[in-house]
């Protein structure tokens, strides 16, 4: 009984790894199966997207400026 559960779990894990590798190959990204590097890359991408959002908010504030604070977004520091 435990063998069936172990094989089932390993089957799902292998499928997920294959899906991740396939997606990376399709996007022409290097295939990295090192979880530490994956986590670091994910955190870096999140930081970059926060910074891009901040600059977008600043640009939107400049476009929406009419002499008052109405319509302005808060910019976190």
Residue 32, H or E segment: none
The pLDDT-based confidence of 77 (bands split at 50, 70, 90) is low
Residue pair 24/30 in contact by the 8 Å Cβ criterion: yes
In tens, the pLDDT along 15-70 reads: 998 998 898 889 888 777 787 888 888 888 888 888 888 899 999 989 888 888 88
Closest to 33 in 3D by CA, of 48, 45, 18, 49:
18
Q: What is the DSSP letter of 18?
A: H
């Amino acid at each position: 009984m435990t063998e069936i559960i172990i094989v089932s779990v390993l089957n799902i894990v292998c499928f997920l790894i294959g899906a991740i590798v396939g997606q990376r190959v399709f996007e022409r990204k290097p295939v990295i199966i090192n979880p530490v590097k994956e986590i670091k890359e994910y955190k870096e991408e999140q930081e970059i997207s926060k910074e891009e959002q901040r600059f977008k908010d600043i640009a939107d504030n400049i476009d929406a400026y009419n002499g008052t604070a109405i319509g302005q977004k808060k910019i976190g520091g």
